Amino acid sequence: MDDLPGGGVRFEVHDPAPPRLRVEIAAPGRFWLRQDDRPVLLAHVERSHYGVHYMRLDGHTPVLPPLTAAEARREPSWPHHYVTWLAQGPGPLHPGWWTLQPWRPPGPLELAAEHPSGYLDWFAGWNGIVPLRPLPEPGNGRVKAHRKLVRDGLLPPILLWWVSGLDGWVLLDGHARLAAALAEDTIPPALALALGPSPSQVDEMVEYAQRGQALVEAQLDKESARRAKQWHFADVYAGIPGERLRTRAWPLPEGGSEAWQRAAPPGWPPPDD
């Protein structure tokens, strides 16, 4: 496990077993998130590619063990703890290199709160969070306990997973923690899990950035080129190991489209315009 700038980590997974939570393709534009033997979220991409309809299904299991207030007050290294727990839980890890990094929304927090179904509008710039089950109410016991941790600045981070087919983040763990933060009118701390580049891919990306740097510097005077190298390209190179890649998906066998449709309630998804 390697540390990344900003408090994240980068780690390799070797276990060849299929992940217990994974994206499976049923047909062009149709996929689901499957956890163990059941789908937990259906997705239908519009033919126009302006957005995606989603439908939550019951049964999602948290991928981390319950986090206690005593653990939170010890202020452990959450990225390292989460990686250890992810390796043992019903999560999305499969062979390859992964990153787990602190995350903040680029603007106001976008949340797909509609239940059980909703629409992610890519045309409007959607890039938010899709919870895998409804958030508990503010009066829920766990939410009340977490709200004190929010006020004390000790709330453990929620856990997100980048799903490129949604162009957004799935909330893997921390529904009560997210509800507590929202009740306190704040954005919760978050760690974002994504498939990352392998060492050979990092080398290729660095080489590509170096070629770009040479082209830029050739167009600048000596002093400007020196400043570009010190400021801009140093940040580019430092960020390459933490880049996120497209989410891996598995094809459903023949008849998968029918299985996907049987899992959908009548009348969903709405017909494309």
Domain boundaries, the chain: 2-197+243-263
d(CA 197, CA 227): 28
Task: Give the number of other Cβ atoms within 10 Å of residue 255's Cβ.
Answer: 9
What is the 8-class DSSP label of residue 242? G
| Main-chain dihedrals φ then ψ at residue 128, nearest 5 degrees | -105, -150
- pLDDT, residue 135, reads 95
Q: pTM score, two decimals? A: 0.86
237 pLDDT band, cuts 50/70/90, is very low
Strands 168-173 and 190-196: unpaired
160 vs 77, residue with greater confidence? 160
Nearest alpha carbon to residue 179 among 150, 219, 210: 150
Residue range 190-208: average pLDDT? 75
d(CA 85, CA 68): 15
